[in-house]
């Protein structure tokens, strides 16, 4: 059974927040109020005038198209390592019970840390050095400055989130010294018509960290599930990022800000590319219900948890062992 394409989301369902006034008097408070309304609604919104230069986006997408056009044998030389979760991730490696493997491939990177970093020595998830293709230095040249720019955007948004919850603007930033940043360079082949309703570019899921910053190409394919169960498409808007909240905000806010299920289906017959940056806080950040989100006489719905332990327990369920794959797979 083929899943029918949903209607496009309305602007009031997934609003566009203009960040150009963020540093002007009253701008932070105004944008925080808009963000709060978006989070109380679908939990997805766009940001425009976000500060990430278009030249970095163009360079990132050009490098991705070049890399994923390489023969599979060359990309398999960069196969993701199990220890640091960096490198090439072929089709079939991302798999969830009840669904076919996601119809996508990716290149994985994160905050680049040396082997002697204390958190790397401890073996903490997402802490370690990046793995770069030796014969394609242009991928690293495009990805590193783009990664740094999205980290800056993530920090700016954390200030907006804090104010939206009645906190000082730097409340989350103090837990952002060595953030668990995870960036994925995605390539989606065209999805064959008439496929099973268990096959997706990305199966329905909700993100698990703090927030996701998605840069998508004009092909589209991202679909969001409203609170009433209806699916809507998140159209491409030039010059914007799509932002959504993750499950850790449910713990922070006692379910005031709830993450939204979403999926990707590439119905266009064309190659699709996107770059999500998953932004989380430092590993040891204590995540617990914020006082501003707890009504008088109420109790927190979730126990306190460290950010890293939460992400690690959730993320470890999503991958198969790379050792199972070879060029013929």
pLDDT digit string, tens, across residues 139-177? 999 999 999 999 999 999 999 999 999 999 999 999 999
Instruction: Find the domain containing 34 and state its range.
Output: 16-271+281-321
Rounded to whole angstroms, how far apart are CA atoms 277 and 211? 8
Please choose, from the candidates 285, 209, 211, the residue with its C-alpha nearest in 3D space to the C-alpha of residue 38: 211
296's torsion region: left (phi>0), alpha (psi -120 to 50) or beta? beta
In a domain, 87, yes or no: yes
Please choose, from the candidates 257, 318, 190, 186, the residue with its C-alpha nearest in 3D space to the C-alpha of residue 36: 257
Please choose, from the candidates 205, 312, 320, the residue with its C-alpha nearest in 3D space to the C-alpha of residue 263: 205
C-alpha R_g of the chain: 19
Rounded to whole angstroms, how far apart are CA atoms 126 and 40? 30
- List % helix, strand, coil for the chain (3-state, nearest 5): 30, 20, 50
CB-based contacts of 36, cutoff 8 Å, min separation 6 = 164, 165
CB 242 within 8 A of CB 222: yes
| 3-state secondary structure at position 213 | strand
Claim: this prediction has a pTM higher than 0.85: yes
In a domain, 1, yes or no: no
In a domain, 192, yes or no: yes
Instruction: Determine the longest span between alpha carbons in the chain, in angstroms.
Output: 61
In a domain, 114, yes or no: yes
CB 93 within 8 A of CB 190: no
The whole-number average pLDDT for the span 177-201 is: 83
Q: Band of the pLDDT at 315, cuts 50, 70, 90?
A: confident
In a domain, 180, yes or no: yes
Whether the pLDDT of residue 261 is over 70: the answer is yes
Rounded to whole angstroms, how far apart are CA atoms 105 and 92? 8
In a domain, 225, yes or no: yes
CB-based contacts of 164, cutoff 8 Å, min separation 6 = 32, 33, 35, 36, 39
In a domain, 173, yes or no: yes
pLDDT at 93: 65
| 3-state secondary structure at position 73 | helix
pLDDT at 325: 33
Question: Could you tell me what percent of the chain has a pLDDT over 70?
Answer: 91
Structure tokens at 143: 């990805």
In a domain, 276, yes or no: no
52's torsion region: left (phi>0), alpha (psi -120 to 50) or beta? beta
Structure tokens at 42: 């679908």
The whole-number average pLDDT for the span 8-23 is: 95
Rounded to whole angstroms, how far apart are CA atoms 171 and 176? 10
- The Cα-based distances of 90 to 22, 95, 135, 229, 240 in angstroms read 40, 11, 18, 31, 28
> How many structural domains comprise the chain?
1
CB-based contacts of 219, cutoff 8 Å, min separation 6 = 236, 266, 268, 270, 271, 272, 273
Question: Could you tell me what percent of the chain has a pLDDT over 90?
Answer: 77
- The Cα-based distances of 174 to 207, 225, 239, 285 in angstroms read 23, 33, 29, 9
Please choose, from the candidates 222, 310, 206, the residue with its C-alpha nearest in 3D space to the C-alpha of residue 258: 206
The whole-number average pLDDT for the span 75-104 is: 83
User: Where residue 141 sits, what CATH number does that domain have?
Assistant: 2.60.120.330
């Amino acid at each position: 059974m083929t899943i029918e394409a949903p209607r496009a989301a309305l602007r009031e369902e997934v609003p566009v927040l203009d960040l150009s006034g963020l540093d002007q008097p009253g701008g932070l408070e105004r944008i925080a109020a808009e963000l709060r309304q978006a989070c109380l609604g679908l939990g997805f919104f766009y940001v425009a005038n976000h500060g990430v230069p278009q030249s970095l986006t163009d360079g990132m997408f050009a490098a991705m198209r070049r890399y994923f056009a390489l023969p599979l044998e060359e990309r398999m030389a960069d196969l993701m390592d199990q220890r640091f979760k960096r490198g090439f991730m072929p089709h079939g490696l991302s798999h969830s019970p009840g669904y076919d493997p996601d119809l996508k491939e990716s290149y994985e990177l994160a905050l680049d840390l040396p082997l002697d970093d204390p958190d790397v020595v401890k073996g903490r998830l997402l802490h370690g050095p990046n793995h770069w293709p030796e014969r394609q230095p242009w991928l690293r040249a495009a990805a590193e400055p783009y990664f740094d720019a999205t980290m800056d955007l993530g920090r700016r948004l954390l200030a907006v989130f804090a104010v939206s919850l009645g906190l000082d603007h730097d409340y989350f930033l103090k837990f952002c010294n060595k953030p668990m940043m995870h960036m994925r360079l995605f390539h989606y082949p065209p999805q064959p018509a008439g496929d099973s309703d268990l096959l997706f570019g990305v199966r329905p899921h909700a993100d698990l960290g703090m927030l996701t910053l998605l840069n998508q190409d004009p092909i589209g394919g991202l679909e969001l599930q409203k609170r009433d169960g209806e699916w809507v498409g998140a159209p491409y808007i030039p010059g914007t990022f799509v932002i959504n909240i993750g499950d850790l905000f449910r713990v922070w806010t006692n379910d005031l800000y709830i993450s939204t299920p979403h999926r990707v289906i590439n119905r266009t017959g064309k190659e699709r590319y996107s770059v999500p940056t998953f932004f989380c806080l430092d590993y040891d950040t204590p995540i617990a219900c914020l006082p501003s989100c707890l009504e008088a006489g109420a109790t927190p719905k979730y126990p306190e948890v460290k950010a890293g332990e939460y992400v690690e327990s959730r993320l470890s369920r999503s991958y198969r062992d790379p050792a199972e794959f070879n060029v013929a797979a």
